[in-house]
Structure 1
Amino acid sequence: MSIKARLLTVAVSASVLAVNVVASFPALARTAAPAPAGSHVIPAQPVFYRTAKVDGLDIFYREAGDPRKPTILLLHGFPSSSHMFRDLIPLLADRYHVVAPDYPGFGHSSQPAPADYAYTFDHLYETVDHFTRAVGVTKFAVYIQDYGAPVGLRFALRQPERVTALIVQNGNAYDVGLSPAWGPIKALWANDTAETREGAAAFLTRKLTTFQYSAGVQADRVNPDAIENDQAILDRPGNREVQMALFANYQTNVALYPAFHEAFRKHQFPTLVVWGKNDPIFTVAGAEAFATDLPKAKLRLIDAGHFALETKADVIAGEIRAFMAAEVDQRGAH
């Protein structure tokens, strides 16, 4: 057989093989097919993992997107870190500058001893404030979840000119939002004893971390990696003292609720409330209460739990993109 004939035979065989492989794996065929005309594919944006020096501490943060575009500051909850935004960031970074820090004592940031750093929500706010200035962020829409709410809402209260919008995902600001699960923490506020501290410390156990991720969520949608990531931080030497200090101090946030409400009424921040309706920690009534002081707030209740991004990052990203396009983008705020 001539060389030309051999090459032709090889080429035909390869084509047949390719057809057979695709036929055997329909999913491969679907993946390889070009996107339909008019469909939207979000361009991949790199996510950077960085550390800023803030008041002598190393503050770890994730950053993506063009800093010239409007900024979204992502503030995480307990017991998580910027890790909770790992799926959301790539879904926003083509259109927005996205920044997500870890608080001191959380994630990859420094964990100074309580004797060296006052673990209060006022102090976390000050650290995040100084962090934003260190990385050159002046104005931002603030995404608040769980602990992110009392940190982020202090910006709305004390520096409203910097806040372009509020994005509230299971971040409470109303008494009606505190579910019965807060019983042990409230007992600690009422009487700080060894017994009440032990009751509150249950929130530091794997059982309660798992509960926060799994309650109200389909069992096979619970990502064990997220639980392991958070529990590893909670189990770090010295972290119990950090978290207990914040449990005790959380009552200062509840005391600030009326001031937050006054700031809402005064400034009427563009607000999106996108809420996992199956949350065992913060109630749907707490989500609906934002309309009391922010009547133009957009409320979206979704079939998800406390950490709604674990199962509905795509839905939440879609809501954010539509909200930001309508309320913030036209101003060119960043």
Structure 2
Amino acid sequence: MDLDVLNMFLIAGGTLAIPILAFVASFLLWPATLIKVYHWYWRRRLGMQVDYAEYEGYRFCYSHRGNPGFRPSVLMLHGFSAHKDMWLGVVKFLPKNVHLICVDMPGHEGTSRTSAVDYSIEGQVKRINQFVKSIGLNKKPFHLIGTSMGGNVAGVYAARHPSELCGVTLICPAGLQYPTESKFVERLRELEKTQDRDGIPLIPSTPEQMEEMLKLCSYVRFKIPKQILQGLVDVRIPNNDFYHECFMELVGEKSRHSLHENMHLISTPLQVIWGKNDQVLDVSGASVLSGAVPGCQVHLLDNCGHSVVLERPRKSAQLITDFIIAQQNAGINSNKKLS
């Protein structure tokens, strides 16, 4: 083989080997960093920009895409111990001409971490209202989406600020009195009796506990390499004290049934999406909401657990989009009749 040709192959092989070796090294040595790079990559690919907003010294971190237009803007509230990037799978399937905002909830990720008063449901509703004002989202009615803890916040927000919203979507929301207790709630009752403060299933500190949490939250069983599980744990461990403080506020008397206590005040068009196999918050909560809010639309998903937006992102996006369009068309027809 000609020496120049041989050199060309060696250079080409070396060029390919470097990123491959870098990836393998990151996977084995710095899995937490790899996970952060993964989220950065998908935000960039989907056109989501990270930004900050301030309200009287309190800082909110959020990602957004697009500008306010004909269709209502959409604000998404994530669940406990998650962050704004959990919505990326759903964002992928939402129309590109819709103005989207995903905010880190109080104390989570890039949003200010203050004290327990901000982590109760009422405290979070107050902070989210401040965020809405700080970015001018309340200039015209927007659509609010929340999942789990975020669903509790979104539901109470709808009860407190109906004039700001044109619709609300609650995905497996917390804060209800469920006719049937879930596996997770049963576990919490056991922990309450034993006063075990370190056994909360949603606050893992080892790869094994992380794997158990993922099994609890998801119906689909993924075989996740131990390195990735370790990376997920490494990202969370520095925040575990905060997660514990926040969790105790959420299950306290003031927040535990916040949505249940306020659902009769929801006048905004309501959509409920729930995984039939939810082991964290039982699907029977959907019937509680549909019975309390007239016109509530309920969608129960087969073979789906608590992590609906991660397990069924395409279906979630389709249901949300159809609901927003239907409400918008209903508003247009109503205005025509009035004129």
TM-score bracket relative to the smaller structure = 0.7 to 0.9
CA distance in structure 1 between the partners assigned to 2:226 and 2:58 by the alignment: 30
| Cα displacement string for residues 164-214 of structure 1 (whole angstroms, at most 9, x for unaligned residues) | 2121111134211652312454567x68x9x34233377343445433433
CA distance in structure 2 between the partners assigned to 1:304 and 1:286 by the alignment: 15
Query: What letter corresponds to residue 55 of structure 1 in structure 2?
Result: E
**Contact 1:217/1:305, CA 8 A, preserved across alignment:** yes
| Cα separation, partners in 2 of 1:262 and 1:196, compared to 1, 3 Å | same
| Cα separation, partners in 2 of 1:299 and 1:272, compared to 1, 3 Å | same
The match for 1:88 is 90
Which one has a bigger Cα radius of gyration? 1
CA distance in structure 2 between the partners assigned to 1:319 and 1:74 by the alignment: 15
**Contact 1:75/1:82, CA 8 A, preserved across alignment:** yes
Q: CA deviation at 1:326?
A: 0.5
Q: CA deviation at 1:135?
A: 0.9
Q: Secondary structure at the match of 1:323?
A: helix
The question of 1:281 aligning with 2:299 is answered no
Q: Secondary structure at the match of 1:289?
A: helix
Query: What letter corresponds to residue 293 of structure 2 in structure 1?
Result: L
CA distance in structure 1 between the partners assigned to 2:209 and 2:327 by the alignment: 37
Query: What letter corresponds to residue 184 of structure 2 in structure 1?
Result: A
Query: What letter corresponds to residue 51 of structure 2 in structure 1?
Result: R
| Cα displacement string for residues 98-140 of structure 1 (whole angstroms, at most 9, x for unaligned residues) | 111002321232334x38x743222222221111111110132
| Cα separation, partners in 2 of 1:209 and 1:79, compared to 1, 3 Å | farther
The match for 1:131 is 131
Q: Secondary structure at the match of 1:175?
A: coil
CA distance in structure 1 between the partners assigned to 2:101 and 2:236 by the alignment: 23
**Contact 2:201/2:209, CA 8 A, preserved across alignment:** no
| Cα displacement string for residues 266-293 of structure 1 (whole angstroms, at most 9, x for unaligned residues) | x2x2122121222210111112322111
Give the fraction of aligned pairs with identical amino acids, expressed as a percent: 19
**Contact 1:59/1:131, CA 8 A, preserved across alignment:** yes
Matches within 5 A, 1:192-203: 195-200=195-200, 203=203
CA RMSD of aligned residues (A): 3.1
CA distance in structure 2 between the partners assigned to 1:328 and 1:76 by the alignment: 24
| Cα separation, partners in 2 of 1:225 and 1:169, compared to 1, 3 Å | farther
Matches within 5 A, 1:111-130: 111-112=113-114, 114=115, 118-130=118-130
The match for 2:308 is 308
| Cα separation, partners in 2 of 1:256 and 1:221, compared to 1, 3 Å | same
Matches within 5 A, 1:128-277: 128-138=128-138, 139-176=141-178, 178-183=181-186, 185-186=188-189, 195-200=195-200, 203-206=203-206, 207-215=208-216, 216-220=218-222, 231-236=233-238, 239-250=239-250, 251=252, 252-264=254-266, 267=267, 269-277=268-276
| Cα separation, partners in 2 of 1:171 and 1:256, compared to 1, 3 Å | closer
Q: Secondary structure at the match of 2:256?
A: helix
The match for 2:108 is 106
Q: Secondary structure at the match of 1:210?
A: helix
CA distance in structure 1 between the partners assigned to 2:108 and 2:231 by the alignment: 11
| Cα separation, partners in 2 of 1:255 and 1:275, compared to 1, 3 Å | closer
CA distance in structure 2 between the partners assigned to 1:160 and 1:299 by the alignment: 20
The match for 1:292 is 291
Q: Secondary structure at the match of 2:284?
A: helix
Instruction: Give unpaired runs (5+ residues) of structure 1.
Output: 1-43
Q: Secondary structure at the match of 2:133?
A: helix
Q: How many residues align?
A: 279
| Cα separation, partners in 2 of 1:211 and 1:199, compared to 1, 3 Å | closer
TM-score scaled to structure 1, two decimals?
0.72
**Contact 1:165/1:271, CA 8 A, preserved across alignment:** yes
CA distance in structure 1 between the partners assigned to 2:214 and 2:319 by the alignment: 22
**Contact 2:174/2:259, CA 8 A, preserved across alignment:** no
CA distance in structure 1 between the partners assigned to 2:55 and 2:128 by the alignment: 9
Q: Secondary structure at the match of 1:92?
A: coil
**Contact 2:120/2:255, CA 8 A, preserved across alignment:** no
